[in-house]
Amino acid sequence: MKKELPKVYEPQEVESRVYEMWEKNGCFKGHRDPDKKPFTIVMPPPNVTGQLHMGHAMDSTLQDILIRFKRMQGYAALWVPGTDHAGIATQIKVEEELRKNEGLSRYDLGREKFLERVWDWKNKYGNRIVEQQKKLGASCDWDRARFTMDEGLSKAVRHVFVSLYKKGLIYKGSRIINWCPNCVTALSDAEVEYQDKPGSFWHIRYPIQGEEGRYVIVATTRPETMLGDTGVAVNPNDERYKDIVGKKCILPLVGREMPIVADEYVDMEFGTGCVKMTPAHDPNDFEVGLRQNLETIRVLDDNGKVVEGYGRYSGMDRYEARKAIVHDLEEGGWLVKVEPHQHNVGTCYRCHSDVEPLISAQWFVKMEPLAKEALRVVNDGEVKFVPDRFSKTYTNWMENVHDWCISRQLWWGHQIPAWTCQECGHITVSEEDPTECEHCHSKNIKQEEDVLDTWFSSALWPFSTLGWPDENSEDFKYFFPTDVLVTGYDIIFFWVARMIFSACEHTGKPPFHTVFIHGLVRDDKGRKMSKSLGNGIDPLEMANQYGADALRFNLVTGNSPGNDMRFYTERCEAMRNFANKIWNASRFLMMNLTIEECRLPEHLEMEDKWILSKLNSVIPEVTENMEKFELGVAAQKVYDFIWDSYCDWYIELTKARLQGEDEEAKRNAQQVLCYVLTETLKLLHPFMPYITEEIWQALPHQGDYLMLQQWPEYHAELSFPQEEKAMELIMDAIRAVRTRRAEMNVPPSKKAHLTVATQEQAVFEAGIPFLKRLASASEVEVVPAAEARQEAGQVVIATHVAQISIPLGELVDLEKEKARVQKELDKNRKMLSGLEGKLQNPGFVSKAPANVVEAERERAEKLRALIEKLEEQLQSM
């Protein structure tokens, strides 16, 4: 039953009501249907600490467009939402609140009580970002929402850990890892961001033992770590140092005797060719230390402070210790020189403080065996990246991947399911909590304190959310593998790669067939949005001000796969105007609507066939763009069709019939207007779901919801190329006449006689009613092209198939217009004369910059063209 639309579109009133209707009536549910092909998307789970930002809005909008499109195409569409426990971020957040409100640390509470507090925080605030996503129209199956620490997902995590451990792909060992002294936890390679920072090279003398006055000179960018030096290395082919290999040197400030060793790692051309070895604090030194049997001494603790046993340096922060050590080296005569040095410094992706490489006992995943299949599925095209260039980013990383450090020194997260026997030292790894050591059966066993890297659980997301490891899960059997992953290029290493190798290893299948990569949303100056710059734009504020549909359309029309986009608030305003245009056009139709059913009539006029043919052309184009993930291109085509073809032209072309006395003609126009609008609303729905659903509900329709209607399809019987071409010829003529009248400032109310000389006489005869009404013609005469002539007192307008003549006197006061044109002609002749004098002046041409001279010449050419045009205009008068 049709209803009236309010005069003004109020998105704030419509959006919450429409969303509630969809959700209440189960429109978002993903149902298993043996007669339908599934289409599954899993949402990249935002952190429970998260506040919706523009990147989330972009990611959510693109996924929602795809899932709505596929749902309308008839797939059993499922979009699985969820949130990530965000180990480091959440623990820091709760610890800050504890410290601020109660003056307590997590250690004051103990592990169990602290975790209770974190769960309380999660239950109170963790759903905030979900509610924000709903405001943007996210059509997820919220009943299937998952959390990475849900019981089922936690079971999957344990299952995977135990499986990889038993295969020898997880091990515990002391290796150099990335350590954040601020977050006090290990980080994986992917969690380290590198920044170019200014630093120094300190050149230091290390005395050779037993050879008075002889030194080797080493250079370092981190003098604070020299306290842990256990050797000096030179290249075995370096003639300068062959005689000292095997001897010992003395570590300044500490007095430690250290061997001088020969190793191919050393670059003879770099620095002095002598390299200090700190195996506990540098990954390359660690490898050399293993080969050369060097001692490993760790001198920085977990907080980045010098450990006990180093005199006044003990307890100093690493940078405080650096200053003190450099001072003492200088005082002792060991410092040779200091050189400025720009170098890449690893920083923590979370807090951005400098990462410290140090040796630590951690848990690792062996990556080389897992990377092979993950590379194969991409190289063989089983998993495609859109755009394809990101497949190279992925393969380059996977081909050079290091073992993944998966342990984190946190309490919030999945505690590592490994128990060490306090009697025999054996490690028991089990999916269920053991009661005794599996080796010696002692009851004295202790579980690992550390938790797993957050990305360990999210790597399982595409299948753990669907019921795996229960392979009899109906959801897993029907909806897995999923279809498309939508994500930003910044987490290809963090997440995409890990999901691919995890799914291949544990399910035997890739987790999805397509990775749709989008860029970052930047501010209008092209800068990354950040708190420090204060240039972030709240998507909810934009949605509240302009409507969620306007925000979504802004985000998608500015988007091309893989590329960053600039966000302009003004474009939100433009998209709100677009929403208003659709609303007003729909209201106009509703006000003229007397039909109860929306279907095409048997008799179609030329303008009806034109709009139907245009629609029939745009449907397959938009569909193809959607299938290729060219969502911005698809959105623009729908926009152009609605604004230009439907609103600006077709509605105007049908007004005479709608307002006429012929009831059949009136009804036929309504039917076509209604049909085209309905089909167009379907095309627009994935992009602007709220306004399209609200308008569709007001139109005559079958079915309950637009979002569950069938996606429009091409119909051969609705293609009318001949009529489409004919109508375009008439429209070209109307545009040309309107443009010329506007140039001459002629008001639309002033009508004039048109003579159209053309070879397409039949077309223009049929178009006379449109020319009279839309080109402000009092009469229209169509004559053969051979009769075209240009007479004095005529305005002549040409299109590629017609010459249109209008008596000038019917448009303007001839004498006044001649005077106006003469005045303009005189003004431009004077300007040209001055400019030509300037260009003929050798002083100007030789002394002025070449680009200035060229610009003046171009200006003169434009003036000559304008003068010629004005002279012709005056002559024709």
Going by the annotation, the residues of the binding site for ATP are: 531
Residue 812's Cβ-side half-sphere holds a number of Cα atoms within 13 Å equal to: 20
Token duo for residue 86: 């965000």
DSSP 561-621: TT--EE--HHHHHHHHHHHHHHHHHHHHHHHT---SS----S---HHHHHHHHHHHHHHHH
Long-range contacts of 98-104 (CB under 8 A, 24+ apart): none
Rounded to the nearest angstrom, the gap between the alpha carbon of residue 819 and the centroid of all alpha carbons in its chain is 59
CA distance linking residue 223 with residue 765, whole number of Å: 91
Residue with tokens 């490898």: 287
Which is it for strands 802-807 and 794-798: parallel, antiparallel or unpaired?
Answer: antiparallel
Please, which residues have CB within 8 angstroms of residue 517's CB and are 6 or more apart in sequence? 385, 386, 387, 390, 487, 488, 489, 492, 561, 562
Q: Helix, strand, or coil here: 758?
A: strand
- Count Cβ atoms within 10 A of the Cβ of residue 406 and give its class: 0-12 exposed, 13-18 middle, 19 or more buried: buried
Instruction: Give residue 691's identity as a one-letter amino acid code.
Output: I
Torsions phi, psi of 517, nearest 5? -95, 130
Binding site members: 531
699-703 long-range Cβ contacts below 8 angstroms, 24+ apart? 699/2, 699/586, 699/589, 699/590, 699/598, 699/674, 700/2, 700/593, 700/595, 700/596, 700/597, 700/598, 700/674, 701/598
Q: How far apart are CA 466 and CA 15, in angstroms?
A: 30
Q: How many C-beta neighbours within 10 Å does residue 36 have? A: 13
CB 547 within 8 A of CB 626: no
Count the neighbouring beta carbons within 10 Å of the beta carbon of residue 757.
21
Provide DSSP, 654-680: HHHHHTSS-HHHHHHHHHHHHHHHHHH
> Are 492 and 397 contacting, i.e. CB atoms less than 8 angstroms apart?
yes
Of the candidates 60, 56, 83, 41, which has an alpha carbon nearest to the alpha carbon of residue 138?
A: 60
Cα end-to-end span (Å), the chain = 59
Structure tokens at 219: 């250079």
| Angle, helices 548-557/54-72, rounded to nearest 10 degrees | 90
The residues pairing with 565 across neighbouring beta strands, listed in sequence order, are 521
Using DSSP, state whether 320 is helix, strand or coil. Answer: helix
* Dist CA 254 CA 274 (whole Å): 19
Q: Helix/strand/coil (H, E, C) string of 333-347?
A: CCEEEEEEEEEEEEE
The interaxial angle of helices 548-557 and 631-640, nearest 10 deg, is 120
Of 293, 84, 331, nearest in space to 204 by CA? 331
Distance CA 329, CA 719 (A): 86
Q: What is the rounded distance in angstroms from the CA atom of residue 429 to the CA atom of residue 363?
A: 12
Q: What is the DSSP string of 76-115?
A: EEEEE-EEB--HHHHHHHHHHHHHHHH---HHHH-HHHHH
**Residues 503, 462: Cα–Cα separation, whole Å:** 8
> Residue 275 forms beta bridges with which residues?
233
